[in-house]
Amino acid sequence: MVILFLHQNFPGQFAHLAPALAAAGHRVIALTSRFKESTRWRGVEVIAYRYEPPHDRKSHPWSSTLDRAVDRGATVFRACEALKARGLTPDVIVAHSGWGEALFLRHVWPDARIGVFAEFFYRAAGADIGFDPEFEGRGELGRGARVDMKNLAMRLQLEAADAGISPTHWQADMHPPELRQKISVLFDGIDTDVICPDAQAELTLPGHGTFRPGEEIVTFVNRNLEPYRGFHVFMRALPDLLRARPRARVVIVGEDGVSYGAPPEGGGSWKQVLVEEVKGRIPEADWARVHFTGRIEREAFTRLLQVSRVHVYLTYPFVLSWSLIEAMSAGCAIVGSDTSPVREAIRDGETGLLFDFFDGQRMVALVDRLLDDPEARAALGQAARQAVVQRYDLQRVCLPAQFRWIDALARG
């Protein structure tokens, strides 16, 4: 088959599936704006398109997301017309629906089978919006109308598609019933053979020293350090955690940007704001045990999870992070927020310990308890890894299911 992937930040969620399909003998093409030039990546033909968002066009605030999606969708439409003129006729197209890239594909290849990665469908209440009162500000007039418009491009793409895919049941269930029936729940997959426990693991990070098994290492990971992933809750509890555990080293992985939500009103990064807020409560000797690493490479990240004694994960009711499942696969003892996406992955008391998202003191108490209880840590870590092997393993569970989904999509 000829299979076309669309993702503005390719490979993204298709990092495993696209090269696996190429290795299976299919012709696999990816259209993306992430690459500046066309290239070949792990057997995939990567075709670059250039996208420059408009800066001088005004739209109603409620339609700004739709406007950007239409603009990008039109750019992709032109790129696909050019590919069609060169003779490309894909049998199957798989596109992430988050940025509008699949809006107009039916007008290019009306007979192609189209599937969309339906990552999230926003709601005016009951999920991330309105969850954290600290960042709500004044009551918003017309919130529901704004959210309807925010979802519109994703709705149009899923309506036009033949099928959808979501990584978790909770994310799939966020969609309206008439769209939900199109969606199969298939997680992206974790390579549990690589991300696995290793009692001999050791990690050296320049400027931070060496981290070894047996040490009290507490880890916290975000792509970007921001409230959506509970960075403010973790940081405000940090003084008490350091006081309770005078030998613990706390490793905080993440960059200073914003993936979701808004930046601080006064400028700067959330890291700067929260460090300024709590540092006066932390003695210099204790602050020396806090390590902000920024982003670290894949191999180093795996070793960090392998030496971690307790891994803390928080999130709004929003898209589940790969890092949680990777920490479980590495056998970490997890302390996580009791929010909907986390509850799908973790059974409280069996594969991790959960606490109310806003209760930083409870978080500290759970971490403190686990650091003193090696048997409980081992039991939670082993159970967490077993759950990942059974449900989220890349080679034995997720990729075979994704291949079946692609085959069913192609056959209609």
Any idea what the CATH number is for the domain that residue 368 is in?
3.40.50.2000
Contact 121, 175 (CB under 8 A): yes
**pTM of the full predicted structure?**
0.95
Measured CA to CA, the distance from residue 402 to residue 398 in angstroms comes to 6
Q: Any alpha helices (H) in 86-142, and if so which ranges?
A: none
Same domain, 164 and 258: no
Inside any domain, residue 195:
no
Inside any domain, residue 346:
yes
Those residues with Cβ within 8 angstroms of residue 195's Cβ, 6 or more apart along the chain or in another chain: 302, 305, 326, 329, 330
Q: Which residue has the tokens 């003998």?
A: 25
Specify which residues 27 forms β-bridges with: 2
For position 133, what pLDDT does the model report? 93
Same domain, 373 and 280: yes
Q: Any alpha helices (H) in 86-230, and if so which ranges?
A: 143-160, 169-173, 177-180
For position 261, what pLDDT does the model report? 87
Inside any domain, residue 197:
no
Measured CA to CA, the distance from residue 318 to residue 259 in angstroms comes to 12
Same domain, 57 and 128: yes
For position 137, what pLDDT does the model report? 65
Measured CA to CA, the distance from residue 212 to residue 175 in angstroms comes to 44
Kindly tell me the burial class for residue 258, based on how many C-beta atoms sit within 10 Å of its own C-beta (0-12, 13-18, 19 or more): middle
Inside any domain, residue 194:
no
Same domain, 373 and 405: no
Cis omega (within 30 of 0) for bond into 11: yes
At position 334, the amino acid (one-letter code) is I
Inside any domain, residue 196:
no
For position 58, what pLDDT does the model report? 82
Inside any domain, residue 264:
yes
Those residues with Cβ within 8 angstroms of residue 65's Cβ, 6 or more apart along the chain or in another chain: 149, 150, 153
For position 141, what pLDDT does the model report? 83
Same domain, 365 and 401: no
Same domain, 173 and 262: no
Instruction: Give the number of domains in the chain.
Output: 2
pLDDT along the chain (412 residues), means of 10: 98 97 98 96 98 83 93 98 98 98 98 98 94 83 92 98 98 97 98 97 96 96 97 98 98 96 92 97 97 97 98 98 98 98 98 98 98 98 98 98 98 92
Domain that holds residue 383: 203-391
For position 166, what pLDDT does the model report? 98
Same domain, 218 and 358: yes
Same domain, 387 and 400: no
Short-list 25, 328, 61, CA closest to 190: 328
